[in-house]
Amino acid sequence: MVLFESPKRVKELLEIMCESDPERDTVICRELTKKFEEVMRGTAAGLARDIPEQGLRGEVVVLFGPPQVKPADEGDIRNALVALLKDMSVKDASAQVAARLGLPRREVYALALDLAKGAKEESEDDDG
């Protein structure tokens, strides 16, 4: 994401980014193509601390890198499967969750089978 921002609002922009993703890779470029060109790199939180309260001077461009991908844990996988198994087959639900989370289908399918088996046993216990 590339933003052309007022030098006086850069600190506020970084503080807003810190509310959702303080570790986002960030670059602040000041006075590009000029004699006093300056490039600052770091995280949104780190750069927000470094910028003075009165803001910066000159023309400013702020670049935000892509958000960090948080690997899915077993709880995330289980929750996604449980939601989909209500309306889909084990095969279809596991394929969709594996594709969405970037995981091996075989592992997700095995977990989906366990969940479906557990749900079936619970319903048999309730009936009997």
Same domain, 52 and 81: no
> Which residue range(s) make up the domain with 89?
74-127
At 84, list the tokens.
Answer: 């989909």
In a domain? residue 69: no
pLDDT confidence of residue 9 = 93
What does the pLDDT look like over 15-43, one tens digit per residue? 999 998 899 999 999 999 898 899 999 99
pLDDT confidence of residue 53 = 87
What stretch of H or E contains 4?
strand 2-5
pLDDT confidence of residue 41 = 97
Identify the domain boundary among 12, 46, 64: 64
What CATH number has the domain bearing residue 42?
Answer: 3.30.950.10
- Cβ(62)–Cβ(70) under 8 Å? no
Q: Is the pLDDT higher at 19 or at 121? A: 19
Instruction: State the first-to-last Cα distance of the chain, in angstroms, to the nearest integer.
Output: 58
Identify the domain boundary among 64, 89, 118: 64
Structural domain count of the chain: 2
Q: Is the pLDDT of residue 44 over 60?
A: yes
Same domain, 56 and 78: no
